[in-house]
Structure 1
Amino acid sequence: MAAPGLQQWKVDKPWLELKCALGEGPFYEKETNSVRLVDIKKSQILTVSAADNGDGSSLKVIQLDTRPTVTADIEGVDPQDRILIGVKHGVAVLDRQAGTYAMLVQFNEENNGRIRSNDGAVDPHGKLWLGTMTDFEHGEPQPEGFLARFDSSKSKEDVLTGLRIPNGIGWSPDNKTMYFTHSTSREVFAFDYSLETGAVSNKRLWYKHEGPGEPDGFRVDVDGNVWHAIWGESTVLKINPEGKVIGSVTLPTRHISCVQFVGTELVITSAADDEGDDPSKKYGGSIFKVDVGTTGLDLFKFRL
Structure 2
Amino acid sequence: MMGFVFDAVTDIRDQVGESPIWDTETRSLYWVDIIGKSIHHLDTRTSKIRSWDTDDFPTAIALRHTASGAVVALAGGAALFDFESGAVTSFSSPDPTEGNRLNEGRCDPSGRFWVGSMRTNLNPDGSGREIDQHSGALFRIDPNGSATRLTEFEFGISNTMAWSPDERTFYFGDSLRNVIFAFDYDADTGGLSNRRVLLENYAHGVPDGSAIDDDGCLWNARFGGSRIIRITPDGRIDREIAVPVTNPTSCTFGASDRKTLYVTSAQFTLTETQLQTNPLEGALLATQTDCTGLPDYRFAG
TM-score of the pair, normalised by structure 1: 0.89
Select the residue among 160, 167, 170 that pairs with 1:175.
167
Please state whether the residue corresponding to 2:25 is helix, strand or coil. helix
Q: Is the 8 A contact 1:193 1:201 kept in 2?
A: yes
TM-score of the pair, normalised by structure 2: 0.90
Please state whether the residue corresponding to 1:175 is helix, strand or coil. coil
CA 1:110–1:294 in 2, change beyond 3 Å: closer, same or farther? closer
Correspondence list, 1:147-296, <5 A? 147-160=138-151, 161-262=153-254, 263-272=258-267, 274-275=270-271, 277=274, 281-296=278-293
Q: Is the 8 A contact 1:22 1:272 kept in 2?
A: yes
Q: CA deviation at 1:179?
A: 0.5
Q: CA deviation at 1:257?
A: 0.1
- Structure 1 match to 2:119: 134
- Structure 2 match to 1:104: 91
CA 1:280–1:27 in 2, change beyond 3 Å: closer, same or farther? farther
**CA distance in structure 2 between the partners assigned to 1:75 and 1:12 by the alignment:** 31
- Structure 1 match to 2:56: 66
Q: Is the 8 A contact 2:165 2:215 kept in 1?
A: yes
**CA distance in structure 2 between the partners assigned to 1:280 and 1:222 by the alignment:** 37
| 1:166-217: CA deviation from partner (whole Å, max 9, x where unpaired) | 0111101000000001111111100011133221100000111421410100
Look up the equivalent residue of 1:35 and give its one-letter code. L
Select the residue among 100, 117, 124 that pairs with 1:115.
100
Number of equivalent positions:
289
Please state whether the residue corresponding to 2:12 is helix, strand or coil. coil
Q: Is the 8 A contact 1:121 1:169 kept in 2?
A: yes
Alpha-carbon RMSD across the aligned residues, in angstroms, is 1.8
Q: Is the 8 A contact 2:6 2:287 kept in 1?
A: no
Please state whether the residue corresponding to 2:176 is helix, strand or coil. helix
| 1:1-34: CA deviation from partner (whole Å, max 9, x where unpaired) | x4xxxxx233365232311000000000112111
Look up the equivalent residue of 2:167 and give its one-letter code. N
1:146 aligns with 2:137: yes
CA 1:105–1:31 in 2, change beyond 3 Å: closer, same or farther? same
**CA distance in structure 1 between the partners assigned to 2:276 and 2:216 by the alignment:** 33
Look up the equivalent residue of 2:73 and give its one-letter code. G
Q: Is the 8 A contact 2:252 2:263 kept in 1?
A: yes
**CA distance in structure 2 between the partners assigned to 1:24 and 1:173 by the alignment:** 23
**CA distance in structure 2 between the partners assigned to 1:12 and 1:109 by the alignment:** 40
Look up the equivalent residue of 1:246 and give its one-letter code. D
Please state whether the residue corresponding to 2:137 is helix, strand or coil. strand
CA 1:205–1:279 in 2, change beyond 3 Å: closer, same or farther? farther
What are structure 1's unaligned runs of at least 5 residues? 3-7
- Structure 1 match to 2:80: 93
**CA distance in structure 1 between the partners assigned to 2:208 and 2:190 by the alignment:** 24
Q: Is the 8 A contact 1:212 1:232 kept in 2?
A: yes
| 1:98-125: CA deviation from partner (whole Å, max 9, x where unpaired) | 11210111246140xx222111111233
| 1:259-293: CA deviation from partner (whole Å, max 9, x where unpaired) | 01012110111011533746764211101111111
Q: Is the 8 A contact 1:26 1:267 kept in 2?
A: yes
Q: Is the 8 A contact 1:17 1:283 kept in 2?
A: no
